[in-house]
Structure 1
Amino acid sequence: MTSAIPKSEIIYPSSDGEPVAETYDHLYALLTTLEVLRQYLQGRRATVLANQFLYYAQGFPKLRVAPDVMVIYDIEPGGRDNYKIWEEKQVPKVIFEITSKGTQEEDKTTKKNLYESLEVEEYWLFDPKGEWIEQQLQGYRLRGDIYEPITDNCSQILQLRLAVEGKLIGFYRLDNGEKLLVNDELIAALKQETDKRIQAEIQAEQERQRAAELESLLSRYREQFGELP
C-alpha cells in the first residue's frame, strides 16, 4: 500500500508557464487595474495580487485558479508566489477577470461558480474589446450564497465606482469622486504640477528682477536729483 504524502511535502507550483494574458489590451488592463488598486490600498492591511495561483483546498495542489486580479483584506501587505487560503485564513474579497471571447465560458460559468462557493464577495468581469459583454463591465455581489448583478457599477468593498474608459477600467472614490490615476495619468499630473511650479518660480524671478531694476533706477535718480520730495 502506498502511504499518503505528508502535507508538508506537497508542492504547490507558482507558475504553469502559460502567458499572462491573451493580448496587449488584456495585459494592459490587468496591469493598470493591479497598479491602481495597489496604490489605493497602500498603508492598509491588505494586498493585491495578479495572475497568481489561488489554492483553495489543502493537500490538493491541482485545485487551483489564477484570478487576473484579486484583492485580499486583513492580511500582511506585499506579494506572494502563490496564495493558499488555509495559510492566510482569508478569502479574497474582490476578484477581477479581464475576459475575452476565448475565456467567456470559463469566466461566466466555471470561475463564477467557484468564486461564489468560496464566498468571494464581489466578482467583476471586464471585457476590454467588448467581445461578449456589450457594456464591457459586469459586476456581481454575493447576497447570501448567490451572486446578484451589480447595477450601479459601485464596489461596496473597495468603496469605488467603476467606469469603462476605452479599454481600461476607471476607478473613482465614492467619498469625494476623485479618480484614482493610472501610471500615464500620474505622470501627466506630475508634469502639470511641475510645469505650474516652474512657471510660478519664473514669474517670481521676473518680479524680483523688476523690483531690482526699479530699485537701481531709484538709486540713480537719488544720486542725480537727491531724495524724492
Structure 2
Amino acid sequence: MQRQAIIYPTADGEPMAETEMHLWAMVTTLLVLRTYLQTLAQEQQTPPAQEGTVLANQFLYYEQGNPKARVAPDVMVVPGVARGSRDSYKIWEEGQLPAVVFEMTSKSTQQDDQVKKKDIYARLGVLEYWLFDPKGEWIKNQLLGYRLIEGVYQPIIDACSTVLGLRLAVEGAVISFYRLDLGEKLLSPDELVRTRLQAEQRAVQAEQRAEVLAARLRELGIDPDA
C-alpha cells in the first residue's frame, strides 16, 4: 500500500498582518535585512549558497512528518543557507535554524508572542527574539529583545543584536538598524529612494553651475574647454 504524501500548507488564509502599520514594519525589516545580508556577502566574498536569507510571514516547519508543528514568524533571518525566497521553511530540509526572529506584535497578539511563540523559538534554539510594537500598545518603548542563554531567553538591555552585528532603534513605526562596526544606518526603501533623488538633484545643480561658469568665461573671452 502506497503511503500518502504529507502535505505542508504554505498558507492558512489569515491576513498577512494585523494592520497596514504592522505590514509596513514587517516589509521594511525584511527588505533592509535582505540588503544587509547581500552587502555582507559581498564584503566577505560569501558564495550565494551560504549567503543566508530573510523570510517574512512564512510557515516555519520544525518537525518532519507533522504539518501541525509549525509557526509563522513575521520575519526570520537564516544564516548559512542559499539566498532567496521559499514557499515555506522546513528545518530538516535546509539543515539550518533561523538565528533571529522578529514579531510585529500588538495587544491582541501579546499573549501568543510572549508565551507560545517565545517558548517555541527558545526550544528550537533561535538565538535572538525581537518583539516590535508599532503602535506602542503594550511595549513601553515599542521594542523588546531577548537573547538565548543556556536555553532561556534573557532580556537584551542595549538593543544590540550580536548575531546580526546591528544596533536597533525605533524611529516612528519602523525599526531602524545601525551597523555596530561602521556606525552606519541601513537605509530603508524610502530612504534609498530619497538618497538617490537627492544625489541626482545635486548632480543636475552641479552641471547647471558648470554651464553658467562656462558661459561667463566665454563672455570674458576665455575658452573653458581649452
TM-score of the two chains, using structure 2 as the length reference: 0.91
Partner of 2:216: 210
Whose radius of gyration is greater, 1 or 2? 1
The CA distance in 2 between the partners of 1:213 and 1:160, in whole Å, is 55
- Cα distance, 1:111 vs structure 2: 0.4
Aligned residues: 213
Q: Match for 1:47 among 30, 40, 53?
A: 53
Partner of residue 21 from structure 2, selected from 10, 18, 25: 25
Identity between Structure 1 and Structure 2 (%): 59
Give 1:200's aligned residue: 206
**1:186 and 2:182 are equivalent in the alignment:** no
- The DSSP-based 3-state class of the residue aligned with 1:41 is helix
User: What RMSD, in angstroms, separates the aligned Cα atoms of the two structures?
Assistant: 1.5
Q: Equivalents in 2 of 1:18, 1:47: separation in Å?
A: 24
Which residue of structure 2 lines up, in the alignment, with residue 141 of structure 1?
147
Post-superposition offset of 1:140: 0.4
What amino acid is aligned across from residue 19 of structure 1 in structure 2?
P
- Which residue of structure 1 lines up, in the alignment, with residue 124 of structure 2? 118
| 1:72-108 per-position Cα deviation (integer Å, ceiling 9, x unaligned) | 0000000000000000000000000000011000100
| Separation (CA, whole Å) in 1 of partners of 2:222 and 2:127 | 72
For 2:97, the equivalent position in structure 1 comes to: 91
Going from structure 1 to structure 2, the CA distance change for 1:56 and 1:216 (only over 3 Å counts) comes to closer
What residue number does 1:220 align with? none
Unpaired segments of 5 or more residues in structure 2? 42-50
Aligned to 1:160: 166
Gaps of at least 5 residues in structure 1 are: 218-229
**Aligned equivalents of 1:195 and 1:176: distance in 2?**
27
State the 1:4 CA deviation.
Answer: 8.9
Q: Tell me, in whole angstroms, the C-alpha distance in 1 between the residues paired with 2:130 and 2:119.
A: 13
CA drift of 1:193 comes to 0.8
User: Does 2:122 match 1:128?
Assistant: no
What is the identity, as a one-letter code, of the residue corresponding to 1:25? Answer: M
In the alignment, residue 125 of structure 2 is paired with which amino acid? E
